A and B are shown apart, each in its own frame.
Chain A
Amino acid sequence: MITPMVERPAKIQRDWVSKTIAGTVLGLALALAAGGAVMRLSSATPMIAAQFAMWIVPPVWMGVLSLCYLFRNGLRTWLWLGAATLLAYALLYAPDVIRHVTAFAASTP
């Protein structure tokens, strides 16, 4: 009997330690950035928005931590989550950076 050669997707590597650290550390970083996004985008009073900004941290954090094990291996987890974190913070602080740069440009004679 001839068994046909089938391309199977590579089996998932557990990499418990690597994935867990990535999920915990980068998950928290992403969650805190989500809080920043809430502050910027919310139309509620600052007192209310600041509370939403805190409340969003646990669901985002736990979401990332729980689902990070779906990555094929530890390296990919760090790469993808790391890229996402960098992008999130770039977006978060971009308005401030742009503001400082344009203010500086406007002030130079």
Chain B
Amino acid sequence: MVRPDIVRLYKSLHTWTGIISGMALFIAFYAGALTVFKDPIARWVSPPSPGLESATLADAPRLIEQVLRERPQASREFMLYLQEGENVPAPLAWRELPAGAQPSGHDGQGNAQHFAARITNDRVVVEQHTPSALPEFIDTLHRVVGLPKDIDPYRRVMGVIAALYAVALVSGLIVLLPTLAKSLFALHIGPNLKRMWLDAHNLIGLASLPFHIIMALTSIVFAFHDDIFAIQDPMIHGGKLESIWRGPALAAQPDVQAKPVPRNPADMLPPAELLAKVKAIAPDFVPKTMQYTQVTGPRATVRIWGFDDKDIARSDQGGLVRVDPYSGNILDTELLPGQQSPAAVTLTSFFTLHFANFGGAPVRWLYFVLGLAGAFLFYSGNLLWIESRRKAERKGQPMPVQTKPARGIAAATVGVCLGCVCGISLSMAAGKWLHGIVADLAAWHMAVYYVVFFACIAWSFYVGAARAGVHLLWLASTSTLAIPLTSLVAWAMPSLGLWAYGTVAPLGVDATALAAAVIWAWLARMTARRVVRGRTDSVWALSRSPSL
């Protein structure tokens, strides 16, 4: 049995790691749950465009050749889209750094402009096209725990939070061990609210423990993998990590000479032929995008991304096969679904378990629920700490004022968590309303989110957690209701310049938002009852004095 002094020690550890990282983790898990449905959200928020209708695969060589002639920067990297989608603007897309712009972001393309090319009236038309920043912004919020950009310093912050989270998981488990059997089936629903919240916290934590272990470990990897590789390179790889990545087939490609002769992209094999070669070795692989890189250089490569329902894939873009576009040689099948070696499959599984791209829709919905349950864990953890610090009312004594830390954490928890919910919902609705009205919609998505987020926190500190909880839950309900309402208005009044799609994915977004709005409203009513009828010696009671 675990000694009581050890349990006490680990309870302290669990409490502090939980309180410090809890609110950041709420944001990561709430935005992460939404990111499971990044593609449907992208389809929902993308304005109508000709998409892939304009060009067939046979037109691709002509499209590529003309684009590379007119816009040489595209030779660095361009994408050929093979599958339809409301969020696929055109068959060919690439990014260019405007003159004088600095590279930034995890891939150096933070300040790049987006371009797309299509065929209209048998002519190749190049236009600047900005994909919606909303899905990427929600993803960024989840990747860097609410910070605005996915850059390495912010990732390291997330990594520290993830490390605290990992320690909180182990310590929570140790605390629960002595009473594990009893706790497994305990859920005391009744007047003892603290007991009920504690049981719910323990039950949900225990049931979703495998999910949380996966998330904690994968997040630490995502934060620190570059740093770990950087240390391990001299330490265990003898400084040869770069050549290890290139692997044997790619190492056979000629080394970069002092002044490489630029190759003529017109010599590249047509995409249809490259796809046929891939199909010959992987008949069940369904390609989705072709990513061409360095096409005028000696190491020109095309990564063909796609999925195979019978195997697992590395990323949310699928698995990939690397092909030489000039010779048609398959360079690397390590990450090709259906062809992965057992060791590669194991590695891929680590990624897949984070991204939920296995098992189709049921698994995605499972991860969505687990993500929201996780957010509840962090919210309830803070609430439990506040309750444990509660100064009880004594007979004949004046009503005790709850401690400043307790009131502060209560206000912060309510403000941060509900502020995140409201901010994301309003930012989503803004994606349709502000389209075509503002110049930089991406900036507005961020502005709407952060203004709402900080306003909710400020309000929560101003009126106290009890009142703010009710207000912000109602705000969460109305702002989330705005999402399907916007689609309804768009359908009913086409003259407004909004849009709404009747396809499955965007409708799913509207339906889920509607259900969520109802749930937030129900929670608002429950909370309103609690602050009026519940115990008055608590941060959750409406105090007689107006603010803190």
Mark A residues whose CB is within 8 Å of B. Answer: 9, 11-12, 14, 32, 35-36, 39, 42, 44-55, 57-59, 61-63, 65-67, 69-70, 92
Contact = CB atoms under 8 A, between A and B. Distances in A.
Nearest to B245: A47
A67 to B, nearest CB: 7
A65 B341 contact: no
A32 B232 contact: yes
A100 to B, nearest CB: 14
Contacts of A46: 244
A12 B13 CA distance: 14
Interface of B: 3, 5-6, 9-10, 12-13, 163, 166-167, 170-171, 216-217, 220-221, 224-225, 228-229, 231-232, 235-237, 241, 244-245, 247, 334, 341, 343-344, 346-347, 350
B166 A62 contact: yes
B236 A39 contact: yes
Nearest to A57: B228
Given A39-B236, A54-B225, A69-B9, A48 B341 contact: yes
Contacts of B236: 32, 35-36, 39, 53, 92
Nearest to A59: B217
A62 B163 CA distance: 7
B347 A12 contact: no
A47 B217 contact: no
15 contacts: A12-B6, A36-B235, A39-B237, A47-B244, A48-B344, A48-B347, A50-B241, A54-B229, A54-B232, A55-B221, A58-B217, A61-B220, A62-B166, A67-B170, A69-B10
A23 to B, nearest CB: 9
Contacts of A57: 224, 228
Nearest to A65: B167
Interface centre among A32, A39, A51, A67 (most CB of B within 10 A): A51
Nearest to B342: A44
B334 A47 contact: yes
Nearest to A89: B235
B229 to A, nearest CB: 6
Contacts of A11: 5
A61 B163 CA distance: 9
Contacts of A62: 163, 166-167, 170, 216-217, 220
B367 to A, nearest CB: 20
A65 B5 contact: no
Given A52-B347, A62-B170, A32 B163 contact: no
A39 B344 CA distance: 15
Given A35-B236, A42-B343, A45-B341, 7 more contacts: A36-B235, A44-B341, A46-B244, A54-B229, A58-B166, A62-B170, A66-B171
B356 to A, nearest CB: 19
Contact of B237 (A45, A50, A69): A50
B230 to A, nearest CB: 10
Contact of A48 (B12, B163, B217, B334): B334
Contacts of B221: 54-55, 58
A64 B176 CA distance: 19
Interface centre among B163, B231, B241, B343 (most CB of A within 10 A): B343
